[in-house]
Amino acid sequence: MKSVFKKGSKVEVISGADKGKVSTITKLFLKKSIAVVQGVNIKTHFDKKDGLLKIESPIALCKLKLKN
């Protein structure tokens, strides 16, 4: 599957709670059409050993725009 997005590309979030944020792609899953973007879509997860953790969740590619 071909895509204009690549790991390390600068992207802008065009919809959702993080609308307008500009950051880089850290992981890309083309078959599922999702990407993990640095500092975007942060979720809080509780772990007994480490307490509260802030984890970056994947975001759909349709919600991202390539930024130059």
pLDDT along the chain (68 residues), means of 10: 90 96 96 96 96 96 94
Between CA 1 and CA 3 the distance in angstroms is 7
What count of other Cβ atoms lies within 10 Å of the Cβ of residue 67? 11
pLDDT recorded at residue 2 = 81
What domains are there in the chain, each with its CATH number?
A: 10-66 (2.30.30.30)
Which of 27, 31, 29 lies closest to 56 in space, CA to CA? 27
pTM of the predicted model as reported, rounded to 2 decimal places: 0.87
Which of 32, 17, 38, 25 lies closest to 67 in space, CA to CA? 25
pLDDT recorded at residue 67 = 92
pLDDT recorded at residue 1 = 67
Residues 6+ apart with CB under 8 A from 3: 28, 30, 61
